[in-house]
Copies of this chain bind each other. A is one copy, B any other.
C-alpha cells in the first residue's frame, strides 16, 4: 500500500475553512483507491507572523522537504504587507523547491456560469503553463536619485536558456497528451525587444523535438483579447512568469471559474515537493463565515494526486465535481446556492 506524506498549510482566512474540506475529499479518495496519506500540519500564516515575526521558521523549507507534496490554502491578510506574507512563504517555497511550472486548468465546468455569451463546456477547456521562477519577477533592481525629480526605479526581467527550455519542454509534453496537440506561446517580441525575441527563439527551437504538436504564438495584448473572443482556439498555452500569471487569471475568469480554479506549482523532476493551491486568495470579506467555496481547494487536491501518480483517484475527484455541479448538488453563494463550505466538501467526499 502506497503512502504519501503531505505537508498541509491552511494559511490565512478562508484557507482555514477550505483546506479541511480538501483533506476530507482526499481522504475519501485514498480509502476508495487504496493508498495512505500521512498529513503533517503547519500553522504558518499571517496570524503566526503577528506573534512571532516570521511567516515560517528559518528551517521551514527543510521541514517541508521531508514531504511528498505541499497542500496550501491561502496566504495573505490585511495589515501584513505582501512582501512579508507572500515573499515570506509562498514565493520562497515556489523558488526554493524549484517549482518551475505553474499549471492551471481553464475549464468551463457544467453548471458553472461563464461571463461570455453562447459558450458551453466544450468551448473552454485548456491549460495555462506558466514559468514560475524567473522572468519579470526578478530579484535584480533598485532605485536611484531617491526623493528628487531625477528619481527612477529599474528592475530586470531575466530569461535563461535553462529556465525557458525546461518550462517549454513541459508544455510541449503536456500538449502531446491532449487530443488536439496544440501549443500556443504568449510573447511580446514586437515591443519588449531583448527578452521576448529570445523566448520566441527557444519556443521554436524546442518545437523541433515535437513535430506532432501544432504551434502558434500571439502577442500578449491580442492574446488576452482572443481569450475572450475565441477561447475555443486554445489547448495548452505557455507563458513567462508575468504573462502566465495574467493568462491564468484571465482564463478562469473567462471560464467563470475564478473562485473555484485550482493550481499546481510543480517540480517535474520530483527533486523537491510540489505545491498545490487554489487560485483564490484568503478572502478576508467572507472569512470566518464558513460560506467559502471549497471546490478550488478540492480540485487542487486532485491535481496533487495526479502528480503523485494516483491518476484514477484524481479523475474521480474531477468528475465528482462535474457531476455534482451538473446534477444540482449543494452550491455555495458565489454559485447562486445556500450551502456552506462543509456541505460542499461532504457532498464531494460522498461523490468520490
Determine whether the beta carbon of A194 is less than 8 Å from that of B115.
no
Determine whether the beta carbon of B229 is less than 8 Å from that of A115.
yes
Give the chain B neighbours of A4 by CB distance below 8 A.
Answer: none
Interface bin, chain A: 35 or more
Determine whether the beta carbon of B242 is less than 8 Å from that of A254.
no
Determine whether the beta carbon of A157 is less than 8 Å from that of B154.
yes
Is chain A's binding surface mostly helix, strand, loop or mixed?
A: mixed
Knowing A228-B115, A228-B228, A253-B228, the reply to whether A154 touches B246 (Cβ < 8 A) is no
Which residue in B114, B151, B224 is a CB contact (below 8 Å) of A161? Answer: B151
Complex Cα distance, B192 from A156, in Å, reads 10
Q: How far is the CB of A251 from chain B (nearest CB, A)?
A: 9
Complex Cα distance, B192 from A114, in Å, reads 30
A28 on interface, CB distance cutoff 8 Å? no
Q: How far is the CB of A346 from chain B (nearest CB, A)?
A: 29
Task: Taking A153-B159, A153-B198 as given, write out 12 further A-B residue pairs in contact, using a Cβ cutoff of 8 Å, ordered by the A residue number.
Answer: A137-B192, A141-B194, A141-B195, A143-B198, A154-B156, A154-B195, A155-B192, A188-B245, A191-B241, A192-B242, A220-B245, A224-B246
Interface residues of A (CB under 8 A from B): 82-83, 86-87, 114-118, 136-137, 139-143, 148-162, 188-195, 198, 220-222, 224-226, 228-229, 241-242, 245-246, 248-250, 252-254, 258
Between-chain CB contacts (< 8 Å), 27 pairs: A83-B190, A86-B190, A114-B117, A115-B116, A117-B117, A117-B118, A136-B136, A136-B191, A137-B192, A149-B161, A150-B160, A151-B161, A152-B160, A154-B157, A154-B158, A154-B159, A155-B157, A155-B192, A155-B193, A155-B194, A224-B246, A224-B249, A225-B253, A228-B228, A228-B250, A228-B254, A250-B250
Pairs A-B, 9 closest by C-beta atoms: A141-B194, A225-B253, A155-B194, A221-B249, A117-B117, A82-B190, A151-B161, A152-B160, A153-B198
